[in-house]
Structure 1
Amino acid sequence: MRCVDVIIVGAGSAGCVTARRCAEMGLRTLILEKKPRELIGKKVCGDEISKSHFDATGIDYPTGDEVSSV
């Protein structure tokens, strides 16, 4: 059996940021997501995600080419 300190349901923006913060605090963290792994992050919201969310997760902020290919 695997023991964890925190279980997060959903690998969306909030779930990923929360999981990262918990892991940074030394907590054994598990994310549960119903989507297949390869689909996580493909469509995270309908409108926009502010730059602060990218900064919090350490993901590079899209600059143009990435956005135009969506």
Structure 2
Amino acid sequence: MMLAAGLRDALGPVPIGAHDDGILRYGPDRIGPPLVRSRAPLSEAWGPLCAGLAAAIRGEPCQQTLLNVALIADS
């Protein structure tokens, strides 16, 4: 979303696609439409990331975790 905010400042109201990681400073309301974004908050990723790191430290294989991702069109 940070890059989308920069693009919006540079290009104006053109359609932009971006990933929304849930960082409030760069929320979609600060960018404005037309915007299509995927949404997978970082807050939901910390648990699987920590579990993978702990497994790697123990020398165990890491498992891939797929989180739910939402596609949102702000128009």
> Does TM, normalized by the shorter one, top 0.5?
no
User: What TM-score, normalized by structure 2, do the two folds share?
Assistant: 0.28
Structure with higher helix content: 2
**Structure of greater Rg:** 2
User: What TM-score, normalized by structure 1, do the two folds share?
Assistant: 0.30
Structure with higher strand content: 2
